[in-house]
Structure formats: C-alpha cells, structure tokens
Amino acid sequence: MNCLYLHPRSSGLPVQSFKSYTRQPSSYVNIPGVMNTTDLRQSVVLKAISGSTSSTEMDGAKVEEEKSEIYSNNMTEAMGAVLTYRHELGMNYNFIRPDLIVGSCLQTPEDVDKLRNIGVKTIFCLQQDPDLEYFGVDIAAICEYANTYDDIQHLRAEIRDFDLFDLRMRLPAVVSKLHKAVNQNGGVTYVHCTAGLGRAPATALAYMFWVQGYKLGEAHDLLLSKRPCFPKLDAIKSATADILTGLKKKLVTLTWKGDNCSTVEISGLDIGWGQRMPLKFDGEQGLWILERELPEGHYEYKYVVDGEWLCNKYELMTPSNKDGHVNNYIQVLDNDPDSFNATLRKRLTGDEPILTKNERLKIRETLGAHSDDD
C-alpha cells in the first residue's frame, strides 16, 4: 500500500508524550546481493537501527533523554497539564477499542512489524516534519518499509502541535481521511502523534463522536480509562459546531497597559502556544494593542512581556487547573445570541454535547465530501 500525506501549515516546535509498551533493542544483518522485498526490508531497517553499543551511542542516549525532558517541559507549559514523554523508551500505545489504538510515534521501521503483529492495517500519523526531525525519526525509511507490505498502509495528516485552533480547523479533513482509510483497510487502526497525548487522542475522540456514534462524554471516559492523556475537548466541540453552523468571524481587540516594557507579544489564541504575535504600541493611549479577526469560539492566550509569560488581570482569566496553570481567555460569540446558529453552537460547545440523528448524518456527509488534498 502507498504512504500518503495530507499536508497543512507547518510549525517549528517539538511535541508531547507518555509511556506504556516499550521498544526492545534489536540488531539486523545486512544481506548483500539482489534487492528483493526481504532485502529491502532489512536494508531499510538498518537505516534506523544499530546492532552494537558504543560510547557514542551512550552519549546519544543522554541526548535523547535531554530532548525528552525539554519536550516534556514544553508540553506541560503549552498544554496546561503535567505530561511526560520519554522518547528513548520507544513506541508506546493503548487499545481504546479492539479496532482502535492511540499511541506515540513510530521510531524505526521495525515498529511497523510490531503493529502488523497486532493486526494493524492503517498507521495514521499526525506529526509534522519538525516534530519528526526533533527526535531524529526517519519517516521516509518507515514509509518505504511499510510500502513493502500489501496488508498495511501508512498515512499522514498533519496537525500542528500545541495549537488548539489548528486542531479545530484541521479535524474535519483529518477525520474524513481517517474514516475513508478505516473503510478501505478494515482491521485495527493506529492513530499517533509524537507522544500520543494530545492530537492523536483528540482525533480518535472526534472519530468516535462523529462516525462511531458515541456521545462525546462517553468516548472521553472510555479513552481516559485506557490511556492517560489530555485531548482538547473544546477543539472537538468547536469543530463540530463549525461543520453544522459554518464559520463566522468577528474583530476583537486585546490590550496590555504599560510603557515600561520594550516588547509585548501574545501566544495561544488562534496561532498556538508554539508561536507569538507582536502587539503594537500606541503612545497616546499608553497601550499595546492587537486587533484580530477570530471565528466564533473560546480562545485561551497569554501575554509575553519582555520574554516573561503573564496574564492580564484586566481581562478574563480561566480558573486555576489542578496543576496551577492560569490563562487569559476570550469568548467570541454571534451578535444575535438567540439566532438558530448561535443556539446550536451554544449547545454543541456546552458541557455535554449530544448529536441528533440528522446532525450526525450531516457531519458524515460533510466528511465524505472532503477531498484527501484538503
């Protein structure tokens, strides 16, 4: 089967993590001669795996641990929850249903064999190239190796990490591609991002909610009972409302008061926690100002003032979560709160959104109409 690729916006940040099943070290012997299918599989695996241990490899392991530590810290800061990923321990995953697995990224071609051995027919990768490059994952070798088999397919459908808005915008196209792959390939589907803690569980949840007929709360409870993770429910709820009501934008203005700083930026909002957007200083008002058009929805953000992450006490703030994290937030609403679309969006983004039979049918029709190139 082919290795297919659905490409959106890109980002330069690393991603998230967890641990459960771990990869055991293996060695492979390179067989010279004609490159038949067996030889190709062995040579591809050799690109990523070494059979000996040296001081250089020990140093490399230390580097991997340090990268994991940095990544975990970035993830905790961006996601608002304490999450840990140890890339050096290898691929980890959990069965959510008998036909659906959520896990961390494949690291070597041999991981393809591990997934084939448990019945996986579709590997669904949500990572962007910078995510793979950060941990030195050779995605080309993994795809090339998967393509030597006719009973498993490797697909890519990128979502930018640490970015609630990009997740919301991308989910319909991504779940559409996932749904079509499941229908085509059957068997078990492996959905992964880098750590399997954010994008992958959110994609699996949306699929269970939109396609498999679960209530969102039921799917969420099932997921968490199988795998500790932190999917962003707000992104799934907003994406559901977007499909059924469309996207309307409104101009919003955010400000930071003070002339005793040299730079003020915003992170979060609709650009994700991995990026920052500068505010312009208005000397007459003594305010740093950002004007931006945003679709209806709930947005969290923080100011970065001369490099320091701060909340604006004059703007709305989220309650402190269990880990003590607090953000500013803004709610962008329809001008007519009593309109049909406003009422529908309010219901779908509430605590317990439940889809009617017609609403789920409309969502499935929308997913079916998506092009794989969207």
What CATH number does residue 255 fall under? 2.60.40.10
Confidence of residue 54 (pLDDT cuts 50, 70, 90): low
**40: in domain:** no
Q: What is the mean pLDDT of residues 291-316?
A: 95
Closest C-alpha among 355, 237, 233, 362 to residue 296? 237
Total domains in the chain come to 2
Q: What is the mean pLDDT of residues 107-133?
A: 98
Q: What is the mean pLDDT of residues 287-308?
A: 95
The dihedral over CA atoms of 66, 195, 147, 210, expressed in degrees to the nearest 10, equals: -160
**230: in domain:** yes
Q: What is the distance between the alpha carbons of residues 210 and 217, in angstroms, rounded to a whole number?
A: 13
The yes-or-no answer on residue 193 being catalytic is yes
pLDDT higher than 70, residue 98: yes
**339: in domain:** no
Q: What pLDDT was estimated at residue 7?
A: 42
Name the catalytic one among 193, 229, 261, 311.
193
Flag the least confident range among 4-13, 191-200, 202-211: 4-13
| Residue at which a domain ends, from 316, 332, 348 | 332
**9: in domain:** no
- Residue pair 265/278 in contact by the 8 Å Cβ criterion: yes
User: Residue 195 maps to which CATH number?
Assistant: 3.90.190.10
Do 158 and 221 fall within a single domain?
yes
Q: Residue 129 is part of which domain span?
A: 87-242
Do 219 and 100 fall within a single domain?
yes
